[in-house]
Structure 1
Amino acid sequence: MVRRIPRRYLVHEITVEPYRGESSTGPLYGQAVTVRCFLDEQTRAVRSPGGEQVTSTSTAYADLATEAPALSRVTLPGGRTTTVIQAKRRDGRQLGTPNHLEIQLE
C-alpha cells in the first residue's frame, strides 16, 4: 500500500511557479499552482544539486505529484517569495512510510 502524508497535516498553502529554463530576458516559469503542504520554517545548511553548501530557510513537505524543480519560484503564506534549492522524492514504496516531496527553499 502506497501511503501519503495525511491531508490533515498539509495545513499550509504555497504557490509554486515551476522553473522552465532561461530566455534572453531572464528565467521562464510555468503557471502558478497552489500546493497544500506542511511548511517547516527552519534555517539549516543543505547541499544544492551542484554540491555547494547553501542555507535553506524553509522546507515544504507536499504530495509526490507536486512539480517543483530546482530554481522554481515559490510564494510562502506570509507573502515572501523564495526559490527552490532542490526537491527530493521521499518514496518508500511498500515500506509504509508517508511518501512525499521535500522541497528545500532559499
Structure 2
Amino acid sequence: MTRVPPSLLRHRVRIEPYLGDGAYGPVYGPAAEHPALVSNTVRMIRAADGRTVTSTAQIIAVPGLDCPPGSRVTLPDGRITTALVSTGHTAPGLPVPACSEVVTE
C-alpha cells in the first residue's frame, strides 16, 4: 500500500487530540505539528453524532493520524477549529495512496 507523497503535504497543522471531558471541561493531549494538505472549502457534512453541520476546512495527512472528533486543530492561517470527523482511507491493491482525512468546523 502506498502512502500519500510527502511532497503533496505542503501545510503544517497543529493537533491537540481530544482525550475526554474533565472536571473543568475538555481535556486535550500534547500538541503536535503534522504535515498536511488543507482545503478551506465550505461544505455540509454529517458529524459523528448524526448532526448535519458546516465544515470550513478539510485536512489530508499521513495514515494513522491521531485526531479524534473534538480535537483542537490549528490551521496554517492561525485559525483554531475543532475536528468533527476523522477517517482513514485505504484502497488495497489499487494505485491510490493511503491517507487520513480530518473534517473541521
Decide: shared fold, TM above 0.5.
yes
Task: Supply the RMSD in Å over aligned alpha carbons.
Answer: 0.7
Query: Residue deviations 1:64-88, cap 9 Å, x none?
Result: 1210000000001111100000101
Q: Give, in angstroms, the shift of residue 92 of structure 1.
A: 1.1
What are structure 2's unaligned runs of at least 5 residues? Answer: none
How far apart, in 2, do the equivalents of 1:78 and 1:60 lie?
13
Other-structure match for 1:9: 8
Moved over 2 A (4+): none
For residue 9 of structure 2, what is the amino acid of its counterpart?
L
Superposition TM-score, scaled by structure 2 size = 0.97
Which secondary structure state, in structure 2, belongs to the residue aligned with residue 8 of structure 1? Answer: helix
Q: Secondary structure at the match of 1:93?
A: coil
**Could you tell me which residue of structure 2 aligns to residue 53 of structure 1?**
52
**TM-score, normalised to structure 1's length?**
0.96
Matched residues, number: 105
Matching residue of 1:75: 74
Distance 1:89 1:65 in 2: 7
In structure 1, C-alpha distance between the alignment counterparts of 2:92 and 2:26, rounded to whole Å:
34
Shift of 1:4: 1.0
SS of the residue corresponding to residue 93 of structure 2 reads: helix
